[in-house]
């Protein structure tokens, strides 16, 4: 699994939306739930944060996130869902789906029906996702080559 470099420079804001619930016609106290929001990202590591100004102090659940990848496996539906997360209110969540390789991914956020306003922020990881195992293997192979060269030098010394 690739190591993440957790620096502010490695993250880019890709979605910053404020959404509001609509009132039912003729009823000032009833609201329609906030519609889900779906968008594309080109990296398998993101951070999501959902906040609400009108949330009560004891509300902790904001909604859910689901990751999709685009495939040609189905004729009528190109999105294939593969991972889900529960997102707490005002709690950033790391959305990590590196075990699936695709060129482009989709993220869908659904919100709890009792929220009247939502602020959704999503950051994507924009640094290189290098595999830590490959780096370690390259280091070991370099050490082996160095040792083999020393053995060759020693074996040729007396000739």
Least confident of 37-46, 92-101, 106-115, 150-159: 150-159
pLDDT average, residue stretch 124-143: 72
Domain with 103, as residue range(s), is 10-127
The verdict on 103 and 152 lying in the same domain is: no
The verdict on 35 and 78 lying in the same domain is: yes
Output the pTM of the full model: 0.73
124: CB partners within 8 A, 6+ apart: 11, 12, 14, 41, 42, 43, 45, 46
pLDDT at 78: 65
Model confidence at 131, in pLDDT bands (50, 70, 90)? low
DSSP-assigned beta bridge partners for residue 81: 68
pLDDT at 17: 94
| Tally of structural domains, the chain | 2
The verdict on 146 and 82 lying in the same domain is: no
The verdict on 55 and 102 lying in the same domain is: yes
pLDDT at 60: 94
CA distance linking residue 114 with residue 23, whole number of Å: 12
Tell me: pLDDT of 112 over 60: yes
The verdict on 88 and 77 lying in the same domain is: yes
Check which CATH number belongs to the domain holding 51 and give it.
Answer: 2.60.120.1300
Tell me: pLDDT of 84 over 80: yes
Count of other CB atoms within 10 angstroms of residue 80: 15
Instruction: From 136, 126, 85, select the one nearest 107 (Cα to Cα).
Output: 85
Domain-located, residue 15 = yes
Domain-located, residue 2 = no
* Percent of the chain whose pLDDT exceeds 70: 83
């Amino acid at each position: 699994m690739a190591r993440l470099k957790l620096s502010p420079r490695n993250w880019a804001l890709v979605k910053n939306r404020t959404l509001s619930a609509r009132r039912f016609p003729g009823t000032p106290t009833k609201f329609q739930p906030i519609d889900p929001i779906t968008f594309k990202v080109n990296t398998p590591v993101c951070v999501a944060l959902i906040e609400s100004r009108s949330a009560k102090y004891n509300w902790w659940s904001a909604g859910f996130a689901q990751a999709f990848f685009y495939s040609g496996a189905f004729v009528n539906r190109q999105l294939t869902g593969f991972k889900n997360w529960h997102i707490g209110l005002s709690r950033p969540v790391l959305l990590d789906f590196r075990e699936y390789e695709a060129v482009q991914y989709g993220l869908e956020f659904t919100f709890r029906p009792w929220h009247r306003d939502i602020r959704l922020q999503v950051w994507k990881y924009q640094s290189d996702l290098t595999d830590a195992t490959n780096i370690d293997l390259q280091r070991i192979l370099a050490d082996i080559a160095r040792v083999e060269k020393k053995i060759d030098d020693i074996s040729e010394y007396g000739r």
